[in-house]
């Protein structure tokens, strides 16, 4: 993937020269994100600029727009679909210096932050007030709030608390021409005008660059307990998750991992867990948590659970480590294999047992290693087709399987991406999922807000414009 270079020397007249980089090392460090680095989709930008304020972001975009130079926002680089890859080179707009927590208002359950702040830092800043940010993804220790908003991210607690969009109240953002806008409000609800806030959430930096966000918070529950259940088969585990959520078990997290994922975690962390399908659960309550745990146990027992154990709160971090570090465990599992595209399809809950079963069956039929895991309580299934990047046949078979899984998810009434975004990797599924008319409506919005097409070009939309 290559593109013609651009003259970005004007940047030194827009922001202080020491925050503009043209050296090869800095530019190469902004060529890819976490996902794009697995199978090379990187593109080196012509310049990296590090603004420190909304005014500087506005000035950079206005100058770039005037010259028709592409601008790709970048923060933590933890994305998994190549969203931060500057596919047409130009400017990598590095927002890591805009990482302040601006204001905490505990009486309103709100916090104002800049886009470069890391997710876990938000929780740390509000913990003293007994608050937390519920939709924080499992990559919260790495991912920036700006990136979470860009992809409408979610995490392990979505089954109880919802996704990032549900907790964003107000955004300050800069349009392609440098215009600064405010979308939403600090009020709990509003019906004033078009809902620009929700339009920007999930737009992956293609419509505007977010420079400040007001996030809603929640009170930390008085009781937090968690544990794991071990099953003989993956089908039993998936059926148990479906039954638990359908029956109304009040879980804050309910995560599924298959036998291969467990083996990878054990190999990477030396956890001593069995190489067996497992369901990790966590319960949040202010009272009556033991009754909810026993309710869950009774549902799981109807699906031949072989072991159900609850940990003390002090042991929770160790309990969840196997699930949280699976991405690193997969990459380290075999030196000759890398994950081809991180899959994150989501299906209606009733389709969860079907898609989990079909993924493992298709992988076995094609002699491919495909760990299956994910936020099973909301139907969000993660998987990674492991391929040898030096074996073209292996890559081709892996790519075909990857596409077949996404097609199956859409056939089941689901989506090609539950939380990672479209980015580069899933553009070809957009029309399949939404239809030509809806995608053209999306293009019309893009053209209206970014007529010169400078904001994160080459993302979201298929190449058939």
- Identify the helix (H) or strand (E) that includes residue 307: strand 305-311
Q: What is the DSSP-derived secondary structure letter of residue 9?
A: G
pLDDT of 40: 56
Question: Which residues have a Cβ under 8 Å from the Cβ of 63 and sit 6 or more positions away?
Answer: 10, 11, 14, 178
Give dist(CA 146, CA 423) in Å, integer.
Answer: 15
User: 114 with 99: CB under 8 angstroms?
Assistant: yes
Q: For residue 277, give the nearest of 300, 299, 297 by alpha carbon.
A: 300
Burial 21-40 (b: 16+ CB within 10 A, else e): beeeebbebbbbbbbbbbbe
H/E stretch holding 209 reads strand 209-216
What are the tokens at 119? Answer: 């997710």
Q: pLDDT value at position 41?
A: 59
Secondary structure (3-state) at 436: helix
* Whether the Cβ atoms of residue 156 and residue 140 lie closer than 8 Å to each other: no
Q: What residue spans in the chain does CATH classification 3.30.465.10 cover?
A: 101-219
Would you state the structure tokens that stand for residue 332, as one six-digit string?
Answer: 């380290």
3-state secondary structure of 52: coil
Q: Is the dihedral of CA 192, 198, 204, 210 positive or negative?
A: positive
How would DSSP label each residue in 158-185? HHHH--GGGGEEEEEEE-TTS-EEEEE-
C-alpha separations of 346 from 249, 343, 374, 380 in Å: 20, 10, 10, 4
Q: How far apart are CA 91 and CA 49, in angstroms?
A: 7
The per-residue pLDDT for range 244-291, each reduced to its tens digit, is: 999 999 999 999 999 999 999 999 988 778 889 999 999 999 999 999
Task: Indicate the pTM of the whole model.
Answer: 0.93
pLDDT at 464: 54
Joined together, the tokens standing for residue 173 give: 């953002």
> In whole angstroms, what is the distance from residue 217 CA to residue 159 CA?
17
Query: Start-end ranges of CATH 3.30.43.10 in the chain?
Result: 9-94
Report residue 380 as tokens: 């969000």
Using an 8 Å Cβ cutoff, are 139 and 126 in contact? no
Q: Using one digit for the tens of pLDDT, what is the confidence trace for 42-100?
A: 899 999 999 999 999 999 999 999 999 999 999 999 898 999 999 999 999 999 999 99
User: How far apart are the C-alpha atoms of 11 and 56, rounded to whole Å?
Assistant: 11
pLDDT confidence of 1, banded at 50, 70, 90? very low
pLDDT at residue 324, rounded to an integer: 80
Q: What is the pLDDT of residue 331?
A: 86
Residue limits of CATH 3.30.70.2190 in the chain: 221-328
CA 231 – CA 280 distance, rounded (Å): 11
**Residue 63: phi, psi to the nearest 5?**
-70, -40
Q: Given this structure, which CATH class describes domain 9-94?
A: alpha beta
- Beta strand segments in 347-406, E: 372-375, 380-387
* Cα 35 from chain centre: 11
Chain segment 149-205, per-residue pLDDT in tens: 999 999 899 999 999 999 999 999 999 999 999 999 999 999 999 999 999 999 999
CATH number at 221-328: 3.30.70.2190
| pLDDT tens, position by position, 420-448 | 999 998 999 999 999 999 999 999 999 99
Domain 101-219 matching CATH 3.40.50.300: the answer reads no
- DSSP three-state, residue 338: strand
Q: Give the DSSP H/E element, type plus range, for residue 219.
A: strand 218-219
Q: How many residues are listed for the chain in this entry? A: 465
**Residue 143 predicted with pLDDT over 90:** yes
């Amino acid at each position: 993937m290559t593109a013609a270079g651009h003259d970005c020397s004007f940047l030194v007249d827009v922001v202080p020269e020491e925050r503009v980089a043209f050296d090869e090392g800095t530019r190469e460090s902004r060529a890819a994100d976490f996902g794009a680095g697995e199978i090379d989709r990187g593109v080196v930008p012509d310049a990296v600029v590090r603004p420190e304020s909304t005014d500087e972001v506005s000035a950079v975009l206005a100058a770039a727009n005037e010259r028709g130079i592409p601008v790709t926002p970048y923060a933590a680089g933890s994305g998994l679909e190549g969203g931060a890859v500057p596919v047409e080179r130009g400017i990598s707009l590095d927002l890591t210096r805009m990482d302040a927590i601006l204001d905490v208002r505990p009486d309103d359950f709100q916090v104002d932050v800049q886009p470069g702040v890391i997710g876990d830092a938000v929780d740390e800043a509000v913990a003293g007030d007994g608050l937390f940010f519920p939709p924080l993804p499992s990559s919260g220790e790495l991912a920036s709030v700006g990136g979470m908003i860009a992809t409408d991210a979610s995490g392990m607690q979505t089954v109880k608390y919802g996704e990032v969009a549900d907790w964003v109240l107000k955004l300050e953002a800069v349009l392609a021409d440098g215009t600064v806008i405010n979308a939403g409000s600090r009020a709990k609800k509003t019906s004033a005008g078009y809902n620009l806030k929700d339009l920007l959430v999930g737009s992956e930096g293609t419509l505007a660059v977010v420079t400040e966000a007001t996030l809603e918070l929640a009170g930390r529950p008085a009781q937090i307990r968690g544990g794991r259940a071990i099953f003989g088969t993956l089908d039993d585990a998936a059926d148990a998750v479906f039954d638990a959520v359908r029956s109304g078990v009040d879980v804050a997290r309910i995560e599924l991992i298959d036998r291969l994922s467990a083996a990878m975690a054990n190999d990477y962390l030396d956890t001593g867990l069995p190489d067996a399908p497992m369901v990790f659960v966590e319960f949040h309550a202010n009272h009556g948590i033991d009754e909810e745990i026993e309710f869950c146990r009774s549902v799981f027992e109807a699906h031949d659970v072989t072991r159900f154990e609850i940990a003390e709160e002090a042991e929770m971090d160790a309990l969840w480590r196997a699930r949280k570090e699976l991405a690193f465990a997969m990459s380290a599992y075999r030196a000759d294999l890398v994950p081809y595209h991180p899959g994150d399809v989501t299906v209606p809950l009733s389709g969860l047992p079907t898609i989990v079963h079909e993924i493992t069956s298709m992988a076995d039929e094609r002699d491919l290693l495909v760990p299956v895991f994910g936020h099973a309580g909301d139907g969000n299934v993660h998987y990674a087709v492991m391929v040898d990047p030096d074996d073209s046949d292996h890559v081709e078979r892996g790519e075909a399987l990857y596409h077949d899984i996404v097609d199956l998810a859409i056939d089941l009434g689901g989506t090609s991406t539950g939380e990672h975004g479209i980015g580069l990797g899933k553009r070809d599924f957009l029309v399949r999922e939404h239809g030509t008319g809806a995608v053209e409506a999306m293009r019309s919005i893009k053209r209206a807000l970014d007529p010169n097409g400078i904001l994160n070009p080459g993302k979201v939309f298929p190449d058939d414009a």
